[in-house]
Structure 1
Amino acid sequence: MTRKSPYTRTHSPFASSIENVSRRRFMQWSALAAAAGFLNFPVEAAASVPGKVAAVPLQSVRLKPSLFLDSLLVNQRYLFELEPDRLLHNFLQYAGLPPKAAVYGGWEGDTIAGHTLGHYLSALAKLYAQTGDAQARQRIDYIVAELARAQAQDKDGYVGGFTRKNGKGVIEGGKTVFEEVRRGIIKGSAFNLNGSWSPLYTEHKLFAGLLDAHELAGNRQALEVLERVAAYFAGVFDTLNHEQMQTLLDSEFGGLNESYIELGARTGNPRWIEIGKRLRHEEIIDPAIAGKDDLPHRHANTQIPKFIGEARRFEVAGDPDAAAAARFFWETVVARHSYVIGGNADREYFQQPDTISSFLTEQTCEHCNSYNMLKLTRHLYQWTPQARYFDYYERTLHNHTMAAQHADTGMFAYMMPMIAGGERGFSDKFDSFWCCVGTGMEAHAQFGDSIYWHDERSLYVNLYISSTLDWQERGIALQLDSGIPDNGKLRLQIDRAADNAPRGLLLRVPAWSGGRFALHVNGREQDAKVEDGYLPLVRAWKAGDVVEIEFDMPLRLEHAAGDESTIAVMRGPLALAADLGPVSEPYDQPDPALVADASPLAGFTALPQPGRFLAAAARPRPLTFVPFFSQYDRRSALYFKRMDPQQWAQEIARREKANADQAALQTSAVDMIQFGNEASEKAHKLASDTSFGGAYRRRECRDVRGKGFVEFEMKGSDRPLALRLRFWGSDKGRFNILVDGKLAVEVKVERGNVIDFVDREYALPHALTRGAKTLKIRIEPQHGDTAGPLFGGWLIPA
């Protein structure tokens, strides 16, 4: 039987004692942030106080027909195609029980196996709360019962699906990792701990799934299973001193801190809260408390859940430092590290602030990042309910979340390319199971969770998603019909309003409307005043009352943070992108631009289909602009350089010169290898170990890591020779170049400030190349470092 918790999501017993401390800290930080030039809200919006508002329970909301309901139904179909027994395979096998079905492929076939089951539990729980689907509840109950059966085999209460590869290369159960940690053996890196791929991250997904199964599907057994496994890991952590714990936290641990604190809030057991407090990564959190952006070159999604945990720590334990850290992180990421779709990071890492225009690549915007940023947004909104939080939330939901799920197949994208002509790579049903597949399952099962919010007196409408609300606790039922994102028209009808129904109705005025709207209540035009981003309507509501609003949806330009010459086109909440053709056709053209003496928007003409425009200002030819999210099987351009006609002429000349320089290099080279290109590598008899081919900024490449190598043959020459290698300017690494097995050059590449491809030449000792018709060149990292990515190699006269 779960004990009633003294902590809840809407009230902290510490709130009154911390409010003044929180306000002082927040005001100090706000002044610093404002001076830095990126604080976007009034300093007067002061103290963070948990529980000022709360979301209406998801169970009270049902979606009406819209692109969001379509998405949820496609996701529901996929969730029911998956087989729980296949996701449970490792949990049973490593508990000594016979699995009932084969394990899935992809990441589920690696040492991170088991993470998907936790996501799957959360997705089913959210789907059940959102729809009441009985099959979702049945699957939850079955999975939890099977986990309990596996757990019963372990005297310590451990249950998990991840594995590890031991020193002999044998795959074994993941518990061995933490029995080593218990003995003080902590050998790891950012994504590896004692031979297992992010095991704490993986276990966190199970924690989160069990918490959701308990809260949203009413499964009491889930909490019983969770408390036993939480006790096991807490026992491991108890053996570690502070320094050892911080070393452990250098490896990715997801939001395990949040889960422990939530478990404490749920059960009233302070032990879990204390464990959650210990899972605080000081190297990351402390700079944020001090107002320092220490994010560049850190893995983005490793950090975001740490701050969600800090937010929950503030709400439950009343720590104002935790609130300061979470708020500073959110402000910094949204204002200085985010793309126009709300996503962040390139190649999964934060770059320098205000430089996103230099990182428009095919490896931007991991979907997990945005999913977790929306979770963090919900927390901050609860403390200071400002409309701007949902301006960000709405933007990200429409432009990244909706883009990350293929509308027809229901499959999920890992990255969301910001490069012109990029292609979204979608998952396979049963052989991918990336992290972003798991978060995708969750993201597309819960669209009703943030539409309606409330305080003691008022109901807030923050997202304009067609839906019904039947909130029996407060005696109100209504219907919301939304034309957004196609148009700005909204209709809200009250179906029931009891005496205890909220009298205040606060409708968010989206920033994209410019504050321009027409409002009618029961057919009569109203002259309402916007307050703090909301239209406040206060009256004794009754059944049949109708509120109608039409927001302006003008086209507008937004520039990339730190670069006013790089722009995107927006309409309402949507980012618009130029359609560059189907993904079935390769794209190798230079980036298009928007060229005009004045605003390029003057040349945009609306097309018959809503939200589509023909842009005469696009160069080198006019282009059709469409909603970015809808380009599932199309290539598109989202960001453009804004130029006047003279600048465009200069750009054409620059491109012609670059082409001529490349042609001259090809002509003068004795030989050339295109790394990452199958035909070129085969022609040069390339062999490698621990190296990976790929593409970055539409150029093929290969990188080499750790103790790996890449070796290939090139034509020789009697002349002295140099090897020219092409890198990305901000990458770094250390490696050796060998010729016919003998060391030729030791290379140290420092991270530079050049945001472009750079060529570097390395003279080869003539004694190693003289008279050879064929040279065998080998590149191998030094001391476990990296070589590359390498984008091309040319053997040229020295």
Structure 2
Amino acid sequence: MNRFRTGLLIGTLCTQALLGFAQEPVKSFPLREVRLLPGAFKEAEQTDLQYIMAMDPDRLLAPYRREAGLPSKVASYGNWENTGLDGHMGGHYLTALSLMAASTGDKRVQDRLTYMVAELKRCQDQLGTGYVGGVPGGVAIWKDIAQGKIDAGTFSLNSKWVPLYNIHKTFAGLRDAYLVAGNEQAKTMLIRLADWMIQLSAGLSDEQIQNMLRSEHGGLNEVFADVSFITGDKKYLELARRYSHRVILDPLVEQLDRLNGLHANTQIPKVIGFERIAELSGDSAYHRAARFFWETVVKQRTVAIGGNSVSEHFNPANNFSSMISRVEGPETCNTYNMLKLTKQLYEAEGKASYLDYYERALYNHILSTQRPGTGGFVYFTPMRPRHYRVYSQVPQGMWCCVGSGLENHGKYGEMIYAHRGNDLYVNLFIPSQLNWKEQGVMLTQQTKFPDQESTRLTLTTTQPRKFTLNLRYPSWVAAGALSLKINGKKTDVSAQPGSYIALERTWKKGDQIEITLTMQTTTEALPDGSNYVAFLRGPIVLAAKTDTTDLNGLLADDSRMGHIAAGKTYPLQQMPLLVSTESRIEKYLKPVPGKSLTYTASELLYPAKYRTLELIPFYRLHDARYVIYWQKQSPEGLQKMQEELARQEAVAQQLAAITLDVVYAGEQQPESDHFVKSEKSNTGQNQDRHWRDARGWFSYQLKNPNQQADRIQVTYWGKDRNRKFKILLNDQPLATVEQDGQKGEAFYTEEYAIPASQNAQAGPLTVKFLAEPGSATGGIYEVRLLKK
């Protein structure tokens, strides 16, 4: 081991000591040492494998070839892959292939990975600088940035759609091709790409880099730290520190929650990078930041399925009303990254409590986001009662959650088992087989969990071997409700829920451990304490399939917003709800005879037509509308609640009926979906709503089907003052606006009639907000295109 690698190990142990952990870190096993056995996770793995192999590698490579000046063999994919985020999917694909090759040993997958890496090397060699990427016009952009020409917005950099985020996927893909799948060529390419990044950054001040990091940039700091680990060269660890966003890091170090309104998945990868830097450097501040972030998000901002965010942003921790009212619920990418962070923290601290969240999110969010059989991935999982999800299709949807989705279902083996020295840990109850070659131990886990509340472990050893087998005692099992047998003999359990049962003995071939895990039925309220609750059986979230009406876009097309379940939303006052004055309503859940994990709540449900609804594990519910969160009311409060909901819903439905298109200013995906362009523009939040303004200008494209547009409605803030700007429609003057701040502490709307001459042409309408010289536009919160 060279000097720096020794330093890395010492730094890791220093982190443990600084935080009070005397033992060495826990490590999960490489995927190649774990194989899934038949069950829900194996089925999901194989479905993902089919989807991966159905994708055309040459179409994914097309953006890279174009940017390298090489002729493309075929056209690139569409959707996000040819509208500004070109090449991001290729990076995800490298990772997905690497994970799947390691998890299955499938030679076809390994061969495709080899092909992808070799073709990308041709692109890197052609450019000759170390750079390789699919960012449109990337060579010119990076040249400008190296010279200090930086125009960074939240979701743009030098007028391009998050190019740093884009190249992070390439960095990560090459890293995983080497670290996970053992491709040596990818290692060489990764180091060349990192050296290019060092050269690009050399002339930039720390202030310039921090300004650039305002733009979404994925987990660049994490991957730079990984290159430091791979090479043993600390210059890459220094690069990782320079690319750590201080605006996010510093408050977290001080244990301050300033997450309200932030784009959630922009922040999580940064925090993964903080923890990786802490692991390699021994910097306790970075670890403290990562742990505080995890605890804040998991304990205060996460819903029952393990996901977080509304329309991709952190909603206020004390107000989850938008989680119920809006259809853009938790984003899959967020949970994908939260599981990465959870794995890091578990390995650093060894606490079984991290696994309670990991297991919850794995079963109820990640497993639920792939369509069984045909495949296809989910972007948003609505918590709005009686809404639904949509799924991608192989040749069309190229969203971020397709990229992370390709990865999610190829790495289910990563946290089932772990080890610390000679000690072995069983963390998850998933049918699988561990081949711990280093110790000459094979462990086979046979289970039908959660349908059966037990699991059986069988050990095979090359020779009798003494070690401690640590079995997780989940927090969802009550104290005293876990029983254990070793070779058929009952064994006393003194451990408590949320810890491990430590079994130290000399193990021999054929030893068996049987664990009975008695699950409880519980309810869980939204984190803000409002009167919406979800039912769980152990760690499994239960949901009810309500109907299959109006599933518009169930299989998403190639449209920019095809990832959103845009079908009819049914009034909240018509949703099934729970009527009771009791606090422990879970006792009214009754099992349905002959159906595994199926329950009814007929005594509680209102109105009567819903009393036949059955609650089943959410991960098994697909192609339908559903209810996860149920409103709970007393009989006295029922009528008042319905009247208020009806009033709110009527207003919303009236507006929706005349809306042709809407963009929520300052929110990443709505703006990207409406092709935002800007100059000297900023975004922020006020009263838990996002805004965009500019001392230059910004614009959106609004869909205008059949030229029905009658007027544009814009939402402003009443206290904005000394703002003078013009509104242009297709570059023609529509209105001049002056704001004097006299409308008070409230949002207000103004409408601007569209002249017939400006509505004559087919296609989208471009609305532009242009500041007058010496002034700025007002803060724009929402722009709606309305018909009569």
Letter of the 2:599 partner, please give it.
F
Change (3 A) 1:267 1:51: farther
Quick check: 2:260–2:314 contact (8 Å CA) kept in 1? yes
Letter of the 1:371 partner, please give it.
Y
Q: CA deviation at 1:707?
A: 2.8
Q: CA deviation at 1:748?
A: 9.2
Question: Which residue of structure 2 lines up, in the alignment, with residue 632 of structure 1?
Answer: 622
Change (3 A) 1:672 1:596: closer
Question: Which residue of structure 2 lines up, in the alignment, with residue 210 of structure 1?
Answer: 174
Q: CA deviation at 1:714?
A: 9.6
Q: Would you say 1:588 and 2:570 are equivalent positions?
A: yes
Change (3 A) 1:726 1:571: farther
Secondary structure at the aligned position of 2:535 is classed as strand
Change (3 A) 1:88 1:708: closer
Q: CA deviation at 1:240?
A: 0.3
Secondary structure at the aligned position of 1:306 is classed as helix
Secondary structure at the aligned position of 2:126 is classed as coil
Runs of 4+ displaced beyond 3 Å: 3-9, 15-20, 48-51, 583-587, 652-663, 689-692, 708-715, 723-754, 760-764, 772-795
Question: Which residue of structure 2 lines up, in the alignment, with residue 38 of structure 1?
Answer: none
Quick check: 1:412–1:426 contact (8 Å CA) kept in 2? yes
Q: Structure 2: how far apart are the matches of 1:660 and 1:439?
A: 38
Please list the CA deviations of residues 370-403 of structure 1 after superposition, one character each: whole Å capped at 9, or x if unmatched: 1111011111111211111000000000011011
Please list the CA deviations of residues 321-363 of structure 1 after superposition, one character each: whole Å capped at 9, or x if unmatched: 1111111111111011111111111111112223234422311
Question: Which residue of structure 1 lines up, in the alignment, with residue 590 of structure 2?
Answer: 605
Q: Match for 1:429 among 382, 390, 394?
A: 394
Q: Match for 1:96 among 69, 78, 82?
A: 69
Task: Out of 636-645 and 390-399, give the one that drifted further.
Answer: 636-645
Please list the CA deviations of residues 13-59 of structure 1 after superposition, one character each: whole Å capped at 9, or x if unmatched: 12455555x33xxxxxxxxxxxxxxxxxxxxxxx3679521012211
Question: Which residue of structure 2 lines up, in the alignment, with residue 65 of structure 1?
Answer: 38
Question: Which residue of structure 1 lines up, in the alignment, with residue 140 of structure 2?
Answer: 176
Quick check: 1:256–1:276 contact (8 Å CA) kept in 2? yes
Q: Structure 1: how far apart are the matches of 2:91 and 2:741?
A: 41
Question: Which residue of structure 2 lines up, in the alignment, with residue 682 of structure 1?
Answer: none
Q: Would you say 1:105 and 2:90 are equivalent positions?
A: no
Percent identity of paired positions between Structure 1 and Structure 2: 33
Question: Which residue of structure 1 lines up, in the alignment, with residue 448 of structure 2?
Answer: 483
Letter of the 1:338 partner, please give it.
T
Question: Which residue of structure 1 lines up, in the alignment, with residue 411 of structure 2?
Answer: 446
Quick check: 1:558–1:568 contact (8 Å CA) kept in 2? yes
Q: Structure 2: how far apart are the matches of 1:728 and 1:424?
A: 32
Q: CA deviation at 1:71?
A: 0.4
Change (3 A) 1:280 1:543: same
Please list the CA deviations of residues 157-179 of structure 1 after superposition, one character each: whole Å capped at 9, or x if unmatched: 2211111xxxxxxxx3x121110
Q: Structure 2: how far apart are the matches of 1:265 and 1:511?
A: 35
Change (3 A) 1:128 1:567: same
Q: CA deviation at 1:647?
A: 1.6
Quick check: 1:520–1:547 contact (8 Å CA) kept in 2? yes
Q: Would you say 1:259 and 2:223 are equivalent positions?
A: yes
Q: CA deviation at 1:655?
A: 4.5
Quick check: 1:4–1:267 contact (8 Å CA) kept in 2? no
Change (3 A) 1:412 1:773: closer
Q: Structure 2: how far apart are the matches of 1:651 and 1:339?
A: 23
Please list the CA deviations of residues 229-271 of structure 1 after superposition, one character each: whole Å capped at 9, or x if unmatched: 1111110111101111111111111111111111111111222
Q: CA deviation at 1:535?
A: 1.6
Change (3 A) 1:161 1:323: same
Q: Would you say 1:647 and 2:606 are equivalent positions?
A: no
Letter of the 1:159 partner, please give it.
V
Quick check: 2:198–2:239 contact (8 Å CA) kept in 1? yes
Q: CA deviation at 1:660?
A: 8.2
Secondary structure at the aligned position of 1:470 is classed as strand
Q: Structure 2: how far apart are the matches of 1:109 and 1:724?
A: 29
Question: Which residue of structure 2 lines up, in the alignment, with residue 474 of structure 1?
Answer: 439
Question: Which residue of structure 2 lines up, in the alignment, with residue 619 of structure 1?
Answer: 606
Change (3 A) 1:73 1:137: same
Question: Which residue of structure 1 lines up, in the alignment, with residue 686 of structure 2?
Answer: none
Question: Which residue of structure 1 lines up, in the alignment, with residue 428 of structure 2?
Answer: 463
Change (3 A) 1:750 1:214: farther
Quick check: 2:660–2:786 contact (8 Å CA) kept in 1? no
Q: Would you say 1:707 and 2:699 are equivalent positions?
A: yes
Please list the CA deviations of residues 82-128 of structure 1 after superposition, one character each: whole Å capped at 9, or x if unmatched: 12111111212221222222211111112211111111111111111
Question: Which residue of structure 1 lines up, in the alignment, with residue 502 of structure 2?
Answer: 536
Secondary structure at the aligned position of 1:261 is classed as helix
The 5 A counterparts of 1:8-23 are: 12-15=9-12, 17=14, 22-23=18-19
Change (3 A) 1:88 1:655: closer
Quick check: 1:53–1:385 contact (8 Å CA) kept in 2? yes
Letter of the 2:340 partner, please give it.
K
Change (3 A) 1:396 1:747: farther
Q: CA deviation at 1:761?
A: 6.6
Task: Out of 560-569 and 445-454, give the one that drifted further.
Answer: 560-569
Task: Out of 615-624 and 117-126, give the one that drifted further.
Answer: 615-624
Quick check: 1:483–1:490 contact (8 Å CA) kept in 2? yes
The 5 A counterparts of 1:173-572 are: 174-360=138-324, 361-496=326-461, 498-499=463-464, 501=465, 503-515=467-479, 516-530=481-495, 533-572=499-538
Q: Would you say 1:54 and 2:27 are equivalent positions?
A: yes
Quick check: 2:699–2:766 contact (8 Å CA) kept in 1? no
5+ unaligned residues in a row in structure 1: which ranges?
24-46, 164-171, 679-688, 693-702, 716-722
Q: Structure 2: how far apart are the matches of 1:491 and 1:595?
A: 41
Letter of the 1:618 partner, please give it.
L
Task: Out of 529-538 and 650-659, give the one that drifted further.
Answer: 650-659
Q: Structure 2: how far apart are the matches of 1:148 and 1:730?
A: 55
Quick check: 1:706–1:785 contact (8 Å CA) kept in 2? no
Q: CA deviation at 1:788?
A: 5.2
Please list the CA deviations of residues 403-426 of structure 1 after superposition, one character each: whole Å capped at 9, or x if unmatched: 111112211111111111222121
Q: Structure 1: how far apart are the matches of 2:113 and 2:778?
A: 44
- TM-score normalised by L of structure 2: 0.83
5+ unaligned residues in a row in structure 2: which ranges?
552-567, 663-672, 677-691, 760-764, 772-776
Secondary structure at the aligned position of 1:416 is classed as coil
Q: Structure 2: how far apart are the matches of 1:418 and 1:207?
A: 34
Q: Structure 2: how far apart are the matches of 1:751 and 1:108?
A: 44
Quick check: 2:39–2:448 contact (8 Å CA) kept in 1? no
Quick check: 1:50–1:383 contact (8 Å CA) kept in 2? no
Quick check: 1:458–1:504 contact (8 Å CA) kept in 2? yes
Letter of the 2:388 partner, please give it.
E
Letter of the 1:562 partner, please give it.
D
Q: Structure 2: how far apart are the matches of 1:791 and 1:110?
A: 23
Q: CA deviation at 1:654?
A: 3.5
Quick check: 2:712–2:783 contact (8 Å CA) kept in 1? no
Quick check: 1:737–1:746 contact (8 Å CA) kept in 2? no
Quick check: 2:301–2:317 contact (8 Å CA) kept in 1? yes
Q: Match for 1:147 among 120, 132, 137?
A: 120
- TM-score normalised by L of structure 1: 0.82
Change (3 A) 1:431 1:8: farther
Question: Which residue of structure 1 lines up, in the alignment, with residue 684 of structure 2?
Answer: none
Q: Structure 2: how far apart are the matches of 1:281 and 1:368?
A: 20
Change (3 A) 1:6 1:395: same
Letter of the 2:601 partner, please give it.
A
Q: Structure 1: how far apart are the matches of 2:320 and 2:745?
A: 14
Change (3 A) 1:445 1:657: closer
Please list the CA deviations of residues 143-166 of structure 1 after superposition, one character each: whole Å capped at 9, or x if unmatched: 111111121112322211111xxx
Quick check: 1:12–1:50 contact (8 Å CA) kept in 2? no
Q: Would you say 1:131 and 2:104 are equivalent positions?
A: yes
